[in-house]
Amino acid sequence: MADERITRRNWTLIWILGMAGQICWNIENSWFNNFVYDKIAKDSAIITWMVAVSAIVSTFATFFIGTWSDRAGRRKPFISVGYICWGIFTIAFGTAEFLPRDPLIAAIVFVVAADAVMSFFGSTGYDAAYQPWTTDISNERNRGKLGGALASMPVLATIFGAVVSGMLVDLFDFFPFFILMGSLVSLIGVFSLFALKDDPKVTARRNAGGYWKQFAEVFHVRTVLRHKELFWVLVVNAVYFISFNVYFPYITIYFNNYLDMNYTLSGGIQAAGLVAAIFLTLPAAKWINAQKTARIIAISVVSNFIGLLLIYLSSQIAVLLIGTFFAGAGYVLVIQTITAWVKNLFPEQQRGQFEGVRMIFAVCVPMVIGPLISNAVIQHHGVHMEIDGVAGMVPNETLFLIAAAVTLLTFLPLIPAAKQAMRRLGSSVPTDSSTHLEG
C-alpha cells in the first residue's frame, strides 16, 4: 500500500462504528447477565446457556457472512444491515421483562434465543464485516496504532457500560436503557450507509467450486499447516479469553450482590482502573510495530494474574481499584497486541473468512468453556443468598482465584507462537528458555 496513513474519514468511521459495536457487546456481556439475575432468575446456568449459545451463533455468523463478503469483495452492506438489526434485537431482548414467569422455562428460552439472534446480527456487522474492513484499509506499518485504537474501544465501552450504563439503569431501569442503546446502534448503521466506502483495492474472491466449498476450505488441515504462527497466536487468544470469561460475566454481579454495592459504585471501581490502563496502548503500539508482540503478551498475562489475585484477596475499595487496573492493563494489551498480530497474518483475500477462524478462538471456545468453569465454581463455592425475595447462588471471591490460575496457562501456547514469529522475521530461535518470548 503506497499510502502509509489511514485517512481522517476512515479513522472517524473506525471510532464511531467500533465504539458503537463495543458498547453493544458490553451490554450483552455484562448488562444482559445482570438483567437476567434481576428480572428472570438468579441462576448462573441461564447465563452459561446464553453465553455459550451466543458464542456459537456469533462464530457461525462470522464464517457465513465473512465468506460471503470475501466472495462479494464488499464489506459496507454487511456492516450497515448488521448494525441496524443489531440495535433492533437489543431492544427486543429487553421485552423478556414483561413475559410471565410461570412457566419459567418460557422466559429462559426467550432470553437465550433473543440473545442468539442479536449476536448473529452483531457478528454480521462487526466481526464479519467491520473487522475485515479495518484490515483492508490498513497495513503492517500502521496496525500497531490501529490495534491500539481497537484495544481501547472495549475498555472505553466497559467504562461507559460500568459508569454511564450503571447510572442509566439505576435511574430508568433496564428496558428504557435497552431502547436507548439499541436505537443508537441502529442509527449508526443507517449513518454507515451514507458515510462508509469499501477499500477499492479489495477484489472479490470466488472459489470455482461454489460458496460452500469456499466456506469449508479454511477447515482443511493444510490451511493450518500453511499458517502455523497464526493458529498458535489464536490458541494464545483462546486460553487467555477462557480466563477472561471465567470472571468477567460475573464481576458486576459479584460487586452488586456479594459486596452489596449499587451499580454506580461498582461501575466507578471498574472504570477507574480501566481509564489508567488505556494510556499503556501508546507505548505498546511502538513495541508492536517493533515486532515485540510475544513479550507484550507475557507482561500482560502477569499483570492480569496480579490484578485478579488482588480482587480475590480483598474487598477494600482501594485494593479493588488497584486490582482492576492490573487486570484491565493485561486485558487492554492482549487485545491490542493480538489484534495487530493476527491482522498481519491473515491471507489478503480471505480476511472475512479468517475473521471466522479468529472467532472460534476469541469467542466460541472461550465463551463456552469459561462460563462452564464459572458455573461449576459458583455452584460449588458460591454463596446462597436471597435478594429482593429471590433466592439463588451468588459468586464469591473464589471465582477470581480460579480465573487467575487459568490465565497463567496462556504461556503454554505463547512459547511456540513466539518461535514461529521469530522464524518469520528471519531470527534464529534461541535455545535458552529465558529468551523464548522475544518475538
Dump the DSSP string for 339-376.
HHHHHHHS-GGGHHHHHHHHHIIIIIHHHHHHHHHHHH
Helices within 138-227 (DSSP H only): 143-160, 166-172, 174-195, 211-217, 221-226
Helices (H) and strands (E) in the chain, counts: 21, 2
pLDDT at 277: 75
pLDDT at 249: 82
Q: Per residue in 165-200, is it b (16+ CB within 10 Å) or e — as a string?
A: bbbbbeeeebbebbeebbeebbebbebbeeebebbe
pLDDT at 14: 96
Cα 351 from Cα 150, distance rounded (Å): 17
**Taking the model in full, what pTM does it have?**
0.73
The segments of the chain whose pLDDT lies below 70 read 1-4, 218-221, 223-225, 348-352, 386-391, 427-439
pLDDT in tens, 247-306: 988 888 899 888 888 877 887 888 887 777 778 877 877 787 777 889 999 999 999 999
Number of structural domains (the chain) is 1
User: Cα torsion at 95, 100, 105, 109 (round to 10°)?
Assistant: -20
pLDDT at 271: 80
Residue 2 resides in a domain: no
Residue 1 resides in a domain: no
pLDDT at 2: 43
pLDDT at 416: 94
Residue 34 resides in a domain: yes
Q: Which three cell numbers stand for residue 83?
A: 448494525
Q: Which amino acid is at 240?
A: Y
pLDDT at 242: 96
Cα 177 from Cα 155, distance rounded (Å): 20
Cβ atoms of residues 350 and 207 within 8 Å: no
Cα 158 from Cα 261, distance rounded (Å): 18
| Alpha carbon separation from 262 to 25, 43, 266, 282, 325 (Å, rounded) | 22, 20, 6, 33, 20
- Reduce the DSSP state of residue 391 to 3 states and report it: strand
Q: Which three cell numbers stand for residue 320?
A: 479493588
- Reduce the DSSP state of residue 384 to 3 states and report it: strand
Phi-psi region of 382 (alpha: psi -120 to 50; beta: other; left: phi over 0): beta
- CB hemisphere CA count around 357 (13 angstroms): 26
Residue 375 resides in a domain: yes
Cis, bond preceding 413 (omega within 30 deg of 0) = no
Q: With CA atoms as reference, report the closest residue to 323 among 299, 307, 309.
A: 307
- CB hemisphere CA count around 417 (13 angstroms): 28
pLDDT at 432: 42
Residue 183 resides in a domain: yes
Cα 5 from Cα 173, distance rounded (Å): 44
Provide the CATH number for the domain around residue 337. 1.20.1250.20
Cα 23 from Cα 29, distance rounded (Å): 10
Structural domain including 359 reads 8-435
> Containing H/E element for 386?
strand 383-387
Q: Which three cell numbers stand for residue 392?
A: 439463588
pLDDT at 13: 96
Cα 337 from Cα 284, distance rounded (Å): 8
In DSSP notation, 226-274 reads HTHHHHHHHHHHHHHHHHHHHHGGGHHHIIIIIS---HHHHHHHHHHHH
Residue 92 resides in a domain: yes
Residue 3 resides in a domain: no
Would you call 387 exposed, middle or buried from its count of C-beta atoms within 10 A (0-12, 13-18, 19+)?
Answer: middle
Residue 363 resides in a domain: yes
